[in-house]
Every structure is written in structure tokens, then in C-alpha cells.
Amino acid sequence: MKSIHVKLPDGKVTEVASGAKVGELAASLGVNSNVIAAKIDGTQVDLERALSRDCTLDWIPLDSSEGVDILRHSTAHLMAQAVQSLFPGTQVTIGPTIEDGFYYDFKRDASFTPEELQKIEDRMRELARSNLKVIREEMPRQKAIQLFRKLGEEYKVAILEEIPDETVSLYRQGDWVDLCRGPHVPSTGVIRAFKLISVAGAYWRGDERNEMLQRIYGTSWPTEEALREYLRLLEEAKKRDHRRLGKELGLFMVSDTIGPGLPLWLPKGAIVRSILERYIVDLERSLGYEHVYTPQLARVELYQRSGHWDHFKDNMYPPMVFEDKEELVLRPMNCPHHVMIYQHELRSYRDLPLRLAELGTMYRYERSGVLSGLSRVRAMTLNDAHIFCLPEQIQSETVSVLRLIERVYRDFGFTDFWYRLSLRDAKDKGKFVDNDAMWDNAERCLRQALAEVGIQYKEAEGEAAYYGPKIDVQLRDVLGHSETLSTVQLDFYLPERFGLEYVAKDGQRRRPVMIHRGVISTMERMMAFLIEHYAGNFPLWLSPVQIKVMTVTDQQKDYGQKVFDKLKVGGWRVEFDDRNEKLSYKIRAAQLAKIPYAVVIGDREVKDQTVSPRRRGGETLKAMAVEDFVQTLKSEVARELGNELSGSGG
């Protein structure tokens, strides 16, 4: 029998018979039983895969990121098997893994109920305990089409008809079969810690013109301990959900009459937004940014010239056509408008860098199914800026933006974030501008800036903007999910498209470079993130109401009003609760509203001309004069903002 050579993860080479299975080799080597799959020359395979050539072999443990992904994919299959065994006639469609879990889309006439979801989960546990062997099978595509057509799986048939390969792989466990590339766990007994989370509607292939299906979401983990911790975090995330807290705290609303994805900022939410706007505008102006205002629509030709029409047309609203045939479109980006401002006059090298900033409102068509509170909307206002600079200024300007981002994150109390260098996929000539030299130069510049600041980063192929690479700052939420809030994008492309020029030292006209940057993202997305990050308990400088003054009885109203007026005149955001209610009720109301300070006014405070502040969370401070309380507030705000602010919290 022919022998082959297999290079193992430790670098050693072993000789095995051709046709030996990966799992057999693992057993002979005494490999940890936690291994559930492997990689042959970098390609994931099941443990039942036969070794047929000289190769390099790596193990995939259950508790590795790749192992967990395989586990979740296998759990999706287990769920589909349970569904079809309980509800015959239900069709399975697509069931991928997602962050922290998996889903499967089903075609069933009746809606899945919460009680049925529990039955499905119970059936999954039965199938897991049966420890059914998971078997991979290869089959000619036409034969597979016949098989699934006979089973009444028309969606699987549709998928198969689009696959170009002549041979496809199926997976069987017991009497159940599914079309899948794999790999999967060796048997259903490996699947132990899982939970079905919810049911939602989903269009076939994500197209709202197609039939509506039912999507069951679930999660799966290597251990029960890991599952319990995830479910605990999930409950915490629900408590922090900005949609729920936004309603409870009176921050924003969405009206069906106005339309989905078009949020209304309520008075308290508008206060927080205005604080954010003043904060970033003042900070940018102190750093040499010049703020501008530009219209929220423009001629279609502008976006055709910039390239946005070709790359983002599907996410733009259709043009508005007027009697004179002029076509105007709501802008999806602000950059072409800023390009026009740059082009308004001929610039000298002495004018650069030119930093143009704007709180620019944009519009993007998002499908209704993905809209979510303030985090996914159709109208958004971006903390946007475009830096027009000389080639030799790229590094210093990029470094300055990175340091600005770090300054802002310190003020906002963000500590759990990381940097991503988002690169193009060089093979995708449709999605990314086809100019290798331009891309190589831009990537080199960004790497140099990251190195100067001493930032560690991860690379992500295919995540660049269509015109250039970018540095994305990824913040983690309570579940550990990462979301891009800040970005720095380097662009040699738009200056070329628009023929931008400056007069160099030698009198020649040369091309500037553009740096696109957003520091606090859109007002909407930042607000959503802040609500969830703080669970609605905003720091003092950012709270829509900072202080609630409350009286014990009606007899303290006059002094309470005096304290309220003094704080109000001092610029503090304060409310006065002089209702004829129990003090405990008033304090509880302030706690529910997540107000940082409740100031109690009783007979003693009136007599001594003091206040008794109570911090959010229950700590009661000693009675003090109003002036001393103001100094306490100022010190707290100064600490929150790195001693940058003296005065009120606004």
C-alpha cells in the first residue's frame, strides 16, 4: 500500500498509509479528544476525511475559534433535523453561523410559537444524546437535485441548480440529510451546550421581493459554563438595549407616520446630542478644523463623477426629476461637497493642510428589515471632516487624527477598543478602484502612521473603502461584539477624479491628497452606543438632566426654588420636584430617570442654608453649602473630561 508523508502541527513528519482517515491518525498519535476537525494544507476537513497525498495537517480543537464555528454549524443542522422530525413538510433553506451563534431559515405555513421553540430544543437534546454519527457523502449534482426534489426540498433544489460544481457534498445524521460543504463534528454527542433564542421573519436570499420565511436563531458553546455566561451577558445586553432605554428615558422615538429609520430626537435626547455636537466642534476648531455647511442634496452628476453612483447606487434614494429634467439626489456622503469647497479657489501649498469639517446629514436607503433604533437608520448626521494635504503631510495628519480619536475615547470613557487596517481585495476589480500603485502607496502611508503612534492592529482584507484603505477603530459592546465608530481613510482617487490642484513651491500645479475621517461617527450611532455603554447612566458632563432638586414637604418650596434657580443660572441642567409626594417616591423617580444627583431639601437644609446631595447609586454626601456642591460638580466634570472643562457640565 502506498505511503504518504504528513507534516504535523509540531513540525514533525509522520508516514501513514494512503487512505488513512484523519481521525485514525489523531487516535494513533493520542491527540486530545477535544479535537473535532482538522486542516489539510489549510483547508478544513472532517475527522473522517481520507489522507491521499503528502500534506501539512493542523488540528482544530473544539474550544478554538474555528472549532466553535464548526460546532455552531453542526448545531444548526441538529436544529433543522429536530424541526423536520417534529413538523413534517417543513422545508429547510439556508443555515449559516453568525457571531455568537447560528440560524436556519424554514418554510412552514404556520408560525413557530414559543412553546414549539422549546419542543424543538428538547428534541435537539434527544438527538444529541443519541450520539448520531455525522457522515459526509459526495454525490453528482444532478443526482442530488433528484434526491432533494423527491424529498420536497425545493429551496435546496434552487441552491443546487446555481452550484457550478458537478459534484456536491451532503451530510447525514441518522435518517436526516442536508446539502452542505462542511466540515462538521464527528457525532451529535459533541453538541452539548446550546439554546434557541428567538424567531424572526426573513426573506428568501435576503430579497424583500421573495417569499417570507421563518428564521430561528440559536447559540452553541463548547461548555455549559460558557453558555451560561453568554446568556447572562445577553440578559445584560437586553437591559442596556438603547431602543428600550431610549423610550424609558425619553431620548428618542420612531414614528410610523414619518417612516422607519427616521428617528425623532426628543428634548432630553436632543440635549445629549447638542452636548456631543458642541464638544466635537469646539475640539475640532481648537485643532485647526474649519467648519462648513453644505446642502443635503446635489445633482446626480456629482456622485457619478465621484464614483459613489457606481459603488453605492443601491443604497441611495432614487433621483428627484424636475420639469427641466434636472436630477437631484439626497446625498449618501459629504465628501463631494467638500471637494467643491476646496475647488472654489486655487490653493497654494501654504494653504495646506486644509481641514474642512461638518456635521453633515446624509441619507441611505436601508432595507426595513435591518433598521434598528438609532444604530441603523436612513437619515444620519456624521461628524465628518476631509483633510486636503500635501503628500509629505499624510503621516503627520493621520497621526493627529489617531491622537484625536484617543483623546475623545478617553473623555467618553471608552477603554475596550482595537484598531483594524482595512485593505482591499486585490482580486475584486469591481468593488475597488483598479490601481495597484495607488493602493500600495496608501497602505504604506497608513502603516507608517500606525507605527509612529505605536498602535497594534489587525488587518482585514476586503473592508477598505472603494477608493482607498482605512484605519477603523472597533469598539466592543457588552457581548464583546465589535462595531466601527471612528475611521481614517486615505484617498488619492477623488483628487484625481475631480482634478484637484495646488500650486507647489516650484510654481507647478500638483495633486493634493484627501484624508476622510470621522471621530464620533454619526450622532445616531454614537448615541445608541453611549446609551448601551453606560446602560443609560450617562456621566455627569453628558447627562441630559444632571441634578434633581426635591423637597421633603411643601414648607421647603421657597428655599428649594432658590437652590434650583442658582444651579440653573450657573449653567447646570437641573429639574425641580416639588410635588406633594413621599421623599422615597421622588428619590426612586430620580433613580429610574438615571439622574446623577438628587438634592434633598428638608427643614434642616432650610435652617442651615445647605443641600444634601445623593449620588446616583445611593451614596449620600454630607450636607454642604450650594457653592461647595457646585465645586463638587465642577471637579467631577473636570475629572471626566481630563481637566479640560472648568465651569458647568454643559
Q: What is the 3-state secondary structure (H, E, C) of 452-507?
A: HHCCCEEEEECCCECCECEEEEEEECCCCCEEEEEEEEEECHHHHHCCCCEECCCC
- pLDDT level of residue 646 (50, 70, 90 thresholds): very low
Mean pLDDT over 520-545 rounds to 96
Strands across the sheet with 297-299, in order? 297-299, 327-330, 320-321
pLDDT value, residue 327: 92
Question: Distance (Å, rounded) from C-alpha 147 to C-alpha 299?
Answer: 54
602-614 residue pLDDT tens: 999 999 999 999 9
Model confidence at 454: pLDDT above 70: yes
For 410-435, the pLDDT digits (tens) are 999 999 999 999 998 888 877 788 88
Q: Which residues contact 432 (CB under 8 A, 6 or more apart)?
A: 424, 425, 426, 439, 464, 466
Arithmetic mean of pLDDT over the chain: 93
In angstroms, the CA 598 to CA 591 distance is 8
Residue 305: exposure state from Cβ atoms within 10 A (0-12, 13-18, ≥19)? middle
pLDDT of residue 42: 93
Superfamily name and number for 253-533: Bira Bifunctional Protein; Domain 2 (3.30.930.10)
Q: How far is CA 536 from CA 244, 353, 525, 634, in A?
A: 10, 39, 15, 21
Query: What is the rounded average pLDDT of the residues 514-542?
Result: 96
Amino acid at 94: I
Residue 409 has pLDDT above 70, yes or no: yes
Residue 498 half-sphere exposure toward CB, CA atoms < 13 A: 26
Task: Measure the CA–CA gap between 82 and 106, rounded to whole angstroms.
Answer: 12
CATH 3.30.930.10 domain locations along the chain: 253-533
Q: Is the pLDDT of residue 235 over 80?
A: yes
Burial (Cβ within 10 Å: 0-12, 13-18, ≥19) of residue 564: buried
Q: In CATH, what number does 66-240 get?
A: 3.30.980.10
- pLDDT tens-digit series, residues 486-517: 999 999 999 999 999 999 999 999 999 999 99
Query: Which of helix, strand or coil describes residue 10?
Result: coil
8 A C-beta contact, residue 342 and residue 296 = no
Angle at 462 between CA 460 and CA 467, to 5 degrees: 115
Question: Which ranges constitute the DSSP H helices of 151-223?
Answer: 154-162
647 pLDDT higher than 50: no
Burial class (CB in 10 A: 0-12, 13-18, 19+), 164: exposed
Confidence of residue 545 (pLDDT cuts 50, 70, 90): very high
Per-residue pLDDT reduced to its tens digit, 215-233: 999 999 999 999 999 999 9
Cell 446630542: give the residue: 273
pLDDT bracket for residue 33 (50, 70, 90): confident
pLDDT of residue 209: 82
* CB-CB contact of 9 with 58 (8 Å): yes
Average pLDDT over residues 247-272: 96
Which residues, in sequence order, are CB contacts of 573 under 8 Å at separation 6+? 271, 543, 544, 545, 546, 547, 649, 650
Contact residues for 392 (Cβ-Cβ < 8 A; gap 6+): none
Q: Determine how β-strand 547-551 pairs with β-strand 597-601.
A: parallel
Q: Which CATH number fits domain 3-61: 3.40.50.2000, 3.30.1360.170, 3.10.20.30, 1.10.3720.10?
A: 3.10.20.30
Enumerate the β-bridge partners of residue 177: 172
429 or 456: which carries more pLDDT confidence? 456
State residue 643's pLDDT score.
59
Which pLDDT value is given to residue 200? Answer: 92
CA 387 to CA 491: how far, in whole Å? Answer: 10
Under 8 Å between Cβ of 50 and 20: yes
How far apart, in whole angstroms, are the C-alpha atoms of residue 110 and residue 360?
46
- 71 Cβ contact partners less than 8 Å away, ≥ 6 residues apart: 36, 62, 185, 190, 191, 220, 221, 222
Looking at the predicted structure, is the pLDDT value of residue 650 above 80?
no
* 151-160, 364-373, 404-413, 527-536: least confident range: 364-373
CATH 3.40.50.800 in the chain is located at 540-640
The residues of the chain that CATH labels 3.30.980.10 are 66-240
Q: What is the mean pLDDT of residues 129-137?
A: 96
Most confident stretch, 224-238, 302-316, 467-481:
224-238
The confidence score (pLDDT) of residue 649 equals 52
Would you say how long the chain is, in residues?
650
| pLDDT attached to residue 645 | 41
Amino acid at 203: Y
Per 3-state DSSP, the chain is made up of helix, strand and coil in percentages (nearest 5) of 40, 30, 35
Per-residue pLDDT tens for 43-84? 999 999 999 999 999 999 999 999 999 999 999 999 999 999
Written as nine digits, the cell of 275 is: 452636548
Quote the CA–CA distance of 6 and 347 in Å, as a whole number. 64
Cβ-contact 339, 500 below 8 angstroms: yes
State the CATH architecture for 540-640: 3-Layer(aba) Sandwich (3.40)
pLDDT, one tens digit per residue, over 89-107 is 999 999 999 989 999 999 9
CA distance 354 to 341: 11
